[in-house]
Amino acid sequence: MTVTDVLVCALGAVSLGAAIRVVTTNQIVRAGLWLVVALGALAGVYLVLTAELLAWVQVLIYVGAVVVLMLFAVMLTRAPIGRSDDLDRPRLPAILVGGGAGLGLAAVLADAYRWSYIGLSGVEPGNAEALGREVFTGWALPFEVLSVLLLAALVGAIAISRPEVGERREES
């Protein structure tokens, strides 16, 4: 075990624990806050794995925007403080499916990599320069397509969430 391993293990444990709280807690807003912890710790793992830019993007987009949006939606849909009892379906099938997927994938990956070792010294850190070069040389077209996708999503979200034109007038 190297220092990196220890850090990954520790942050990973935090992340996994928080993730389990996200899917098991009975309090909706708490689930959102645990998601912040889980994704934040995941950003820490990225940082340890030299993916600097990705880590901060994760904090900026996920913690700063996505989770806030979710908490916002939870509060707008009148989440109660305290426990709600009707959040879950029957647990057993879900445990079977989720546990099967998780443990199965883990087994496959563990079998593929065993206890192989990779030195981090030769790895060029994934900073803004490296990722920028990567995205804008090899993946420029997908990048553009993505921006179109974002625009479409933006327009779609606005179109869905605005009240029907004219309807609001008549009501008030």
Partner 1 sequence: MPVWLEIAIRVAGVFVAFLTLPLIVGQTEHKVMAHMQGRLGPMYAGRFHGWAQLIADGVKFVQKEEVVPGAADKSVFRLAPAVALVPYLVALLVIPLGPGDLVAQPLDMGLFLVLAVVGVGIVAVLMAGWASANKYTLLGALRAAAQLLAYELPFVLAAASVAMAAGTLSLTGIVEAWRPWWLLWQLPALFVFFTAGLAEIRRPPFDAPIADSELVFGYLTEYTGLRFALFLLAEYVGIVVISALTTVLFLGGWKGPFASDTLGWLWTLVKVGAVAFVIIWLRVAFPRLRVDQLQKFCWLGLVPIALLQLILTAVVKVGF
Partner 2 sequence: MHPVIPYVLAALLFGTGVYGVTVRRNAVLLLMSVELMLGAVNLVLVTADVTLKQHVGQAFALFVIVIAAAEVGLGLAIVLQLFRLRRSIVTDEVGAEREPVAVSEDA
Among 54, 56, 55, 58, smallest CA distance to 66 is for: 58
Q: What CA–CA distances, in Å, run from 69 to 6, 19, 23, 74, 133? A: 33, 18, 18, 9, 31
- Neighbouring CB atoms inside 10 A of 26's CB total 13
- Minimum Å distance from CB 108 to partner 2? 8
User: Taking CB within 5 to 8 Å according to partner kind, which of partner 1, partner 2, none is near residue 140?
Assistant: none
Residue 87: contacted member of partner 1, partner 2, none (CB under 5 to 8 Å, by partner type) = partner 2
Of residues 142-171, which lie at the interface with partner 1 (CB under 8 A)?
none
Q: Which of 20, 69, 149, 152 binds partner 1 (CB under 8 A)?
A: 69
Find the shortest distance in angstroms from Cβ 111 to partner 1.
Answer: 36
Both tokens of 77, joined, read 């849909």
Pick 8 or 63: Cβ nearer partner 1: 63
Closest approach, Cβ 22 to partner 2, in A, equals: 6
Angle at 158 between CA 155 and CA 164, to 5 degrees: 120
